[in-house]
Amino acid sequence: MKKRKFIIIGSGITGVVIARNLAEAGFKVDIYEKRNHIAGNMYDYEKDGILIHKYGPHIFHTSDEEVNEYMNKFWKLNKFQNIVEGYVNNKLVPIPCNFKSIDILFPDKAEQIKNNLKTFFPNQPNVPILELKKIDNELLKEFSDFIYKNLFLNYTTKMWNLKPDEIDESVTARIPIILSYKNTYFNDKYEGLPIDGYTKTFEKILNHENINVYINTDAINILKMEDDKIFIDDKENEVVIYTGPLDKLFKNKFDQLDYRSLHFEFETINQTKFQETAVVNYPDDPIITRITEYKNMTLQNVENKTVIGKETPGTYDEKSSKWNEPYYPLATDEARNKYNKYKDFAKKYTNLYVCGRMGLYKYINMDQAIKNALDLSKEILENENKK
Ligand SMILES: Cc1cc2nc3c(=O)[nH]c(=O)nc-3n(C[C@H](O)[C@H](O)[C@H](O)COP(=O)(O)OP(=O)(O)OC[C@H]3O[C@@H](n4cnc5c(N)ncnc54)[C@H](O)[C@@H]3O)c2cc1C
């Protein structure tokens, strides 16, 4: 057994993938998790016979072959493909806006709008709304203004608590109008949910003789910092891989980091189906952003029962009863500058690796988190070989 020991803070996908790779390379790994369960934000559990996601709906999708191959060692994906709909002016339409949305929202002008779109953007699968707004055509202007206001602006201002003029144009530029009847939300090669669930997948990844997991343990209470080292028991031989927020690690030495949070309210309903798709957006609702019906994504066959999750955004505050999870880092310069101070400070510790969605203070999808974890595992092992 190798002498060096790895201490991993956080049992999300970043932490467990690194743990597994280091364990397979012959290192002892201890994982500390402050929650009472493993799996980070991908944690799922059964409620009334239906698998639900405690921290919001998680749909895996990737075009990365390495990520797909790695995860296939531990899970088998179901055939779910995400289709999102939303209530706009009390009409249920596909989101992002496609030709079917146009048919429903503009019954009198639909043919003309679709023809104009095809004329201005021939052979294109979609067009970003900002590009569409530049076209000198009265009907398309009216159309793009409507879509921008009703499908995007209401949702985004509520999600981020911003005024319309505070929304960054780079975000706006990306909303696509789909120039066909295609209604699947993602464009990746692989998509689905693990048939046995995320938590069961994590159990498989962690099932290795070199890995020990300690839940209900906030690492902040047991980590020590001395000189240029961070450790729990053995200053000389421990390496720490930290996947939590840096302000917490350094006890708010600079400023608290800012996040947008979400509150999920789960409800069991005694009917077989609540909505047609897994996710329905509510851009017009003053409070809720979307409702997820979990059965529609886990593809479980349960009669006369379904579980839905209503999602409400709010400002993160660890003392709040509703918005106490740091979900989305704010995308402002001010927020990023605060983070950069911590990032620079962390460099002082020579046996510390900072990673994961919170460590990086960056929204990343699961596949990106897995890819980063695979890359970092390789980097750590290369560094160990040099010692
Ligand atoms: C609402 C929402 C929906 C999402 N939907 C999707 C989706 O559909 N598809 C997709 O690909 N991605 C989705 N994501 C992104 C996905 O959740 C992340 O990519 C992934 O969970 C990142 O894993 P991680 O290990 O980096 O972080 P996390 O999953 O956050 O894990 C970090 C872990 O560290 C623990 N921790 C933190 N501090 C300490 C401490 N001091 N001591 C001990 N433990 C600590 C935390 O408790 C947590 O368990 C979504 C994210 C959100 C917020």
The pLDDT tens digits of the residues spanning 273-326 come to 999 999 999 999 999 999 999 999 999 999 999 999 999 999 999 999 999 999
At residue 325's C-alpha, the angle toward residues 188 and 274, to 5°, is 60
| Average pLDDT value for residue range 55-77 | 98
Question: Nearest residue CA, atom 2 of ligand 1?
Answer: 56
- pLDDT band for position 1 (cuts 50, 70, 90): low
Contact present, 251 and 223 (Cβ < 8 Å):
no
Contact present, 354 and 248 (Cβ < 8 Å):
no
Position in ligand 1 atom list of the atom nearest CA 39: 49
Give yes or no for residue 167 having a pLDDT over 90. Answer: no
- Cβ partners under 8 Å of residue 382, min gap 6: none
Identify the pLDDT of residue 173: 67
Position in ligand 1 atom list of the atom nearest CA 15: 25
Position in ligand 1 atom list of the atom nearest CA 368: 19
Position in ligand 1 atom list of the atom nearest CA 357: 26
Tokens 């944690």 appear where? 43
CB atoms within 10 A of CB 386: 5
CA–centroid distance, residue 39 to ligand 1 (Å): 8
Beta bridge partners, 191, equal 61
One CATH from 3.40.50.2300, 3.40.50.1100, 3.40.50.720, 3.40.190.10 for 5-45+61-78+195-256+332-386: 3.40.50.720
Contact present, 257 and 332 (Cβ < 8 Å):
no
DSSP code per residue over 306-358? EEEEEEEEEE--TT-SSS-S--EE--SHHHHHHHHHHHHHHTT-TTEEE-HHH
In whole angstroms, give the CA distance from residue 232 to residue 104.
60
| Average pLDDT value for residue range 41-53 | 97
The pLDDT tens digits of the residues spanning 331-387 come to 888 999 999 999 999 999 999 999 999 999 999 999 999 999 999 999 999 998 887
Identify the pLDDT of residue 155: 86
The pLDDT tens digits of the residues spanning 185-231 come to 999 999 999 999 999 999 999 999 999 999 999 999 999 999 999 99
Out of 243, 279, 324, give the residue to mutate to test ligand 1, the one with the largest number of ligand atoms within 8 Å of its CB: 243
More confident residue, 148 or 51: 51
Is residue 344 helix, strand or coil?
helix
CA torsion 339→344→348→354, rounded to 10°? 50
Give the strand pairing for 28-32 and 328-329: unpaired
Where are the CATH 3.40.50.720 domain residues in the chain? 5-45+61-78+195-256+332-386
- The DSSP element (H or E) to which 95 belongs, if any, is strand 91-95
Q: Which residues line ligand 1 (CB under 6 A)?
A: 9-15, 32-35, 40-42, 56-60, 218-220, 243-244, 248, 262, 327, 356-358, 364-367, 369
| Average pLDDT value for residue range 232-260 | 96
Contact present, 114 and 105 (Cβ < 8 Å):
no
Tokens of 241: 């891989």
- pLDDT band for position 2 (cuts 50, 70, 90): low
20, 251, 260, 384 from 242: Cα distances, Å: 15, 14, 21, 18
- The DSSP element (H or E) to which 29 belongs, if any, is strand 28-32
Identify the pLDDT of residue 58: 98
- Cβ partners under 8 Å of residue 194, min gap 6: 60, 75, 76, 77, 78, 200, 201
Identify the pLDDT of residue 171: 67
Identify the pLDDT of residue 225: 97
Out of 217, 232, 357, give the residue to mutate to test ligand 1, the one with the largest number of ligand atoms within 8 Å of its CB: 357
Backbone angles phi, psi at 150, to 5 degrees: -85, -30
In whole angstroms, give the CA distance from residue 374 to residue 387.
21
CA–centroid distance, residue 40 to ligand 1 (Å): 5
Give the strand pairing for 190-192 and 211-214: unpaired
The pLDDT tens digits of the residues spanning 134-166 come to 899 999 999 999 998 998 888 888 988 887 777
Q: 11: closest CA among 29, 37, 47?
A: 37
